[in-house]
Amino acid sequence: MTKGQLLKLRANDKEDLSVISTVLQDSLIAVNEMLFLKKESRFAFVANRFRWEDNREKKPEGILGYERVHCGICFDTVTAVRQKGLDQYRKSQIISLLSIVAEEKIIDMSFSAGIEVRLEIDEILCHLQDLDSPWSTKWRPEHRLEKG
């Protein structure tokens, strides 16, 4: 992959999905952008994705040296969607994706503010595709390590 190249990925197993989880870490998603299309057995959303693949190294504060891009994600073979912690009255709420983990017939997505979305699936089938050109940002997501 060359610098600045738009991503297009597919996941068919847990290992593939862990790559997509890494790529999507710290993506920003509007709650009203998440859709369960029951008739199509599809769960989809658009994310504002931090481009970790081109932004691994930390740059001096305030420098426009990082990038984000709009990204479409869909999960197929979804039979049901469960959620915990979403406020149905705050449809325009923006949440940050922390991780995606697959187990037998289940995909769990963890978000900021303790929000969780569980997809019940027949099999793992996920597609991710960057939708437009990246734009510059000076903010790089950071995670505080908890002291044990």
pLDDT digits (tens, 9 = 90+) for 61-81: 655 678 999 999 999 999 999
Q: In this predicted structure, what is the pLDDT of residue 62?
A: 58
Residue 99 lies in a domain: yes
> Is residue 144 domain-resident?
no
Computed over every residue of the chain, the mean pLDDT equals 88
Q: What is the pLDDT of residue 58?
A: 62
Q: How many CB atoms lie within 10 A of CB 142?
A: 7
Structural domain contains residue 1: no
Proportion of the chain above pLDDT 90, given as a percent: 66
- In DSSP terms, which residues pair with 119 in a beta bridge? 81, 107
The verdict on residue 128 lying in a domain is yes
Residue 132 has what pLDDT?
Answer: 92
Better-scored residue on pLDDT, 71 or 136: 71
Q: Residue 87, Cβ neighbours under 10 Å: how many?
A: 10
* pLDDT tens digit sequence for 81-106: 999 988 777 778 899 999 999 998 99
User: Residue 148 above 60 pLDDT?
Assistant: no
- Dist. CA 21–CA 99, nearest whole Å: 6
User: Is 143 within the bounds of a domain?
Assistant: no
- Cα separation, 140 vs 52, in Å, equals 9
| Residue 74 belongs to a domain | yes
Query: Does 147 map to a domain?
Result: no
Is pTM, for the whole model, over 0.95?
Answer: no
Q: How many domains does the chain have?
A: 1
Phi/psi for 102 (5° steps) reads -110, 140
Residue range(s) defining the domain that contains residue 72: 9-137
Does any domain span residue 146? no
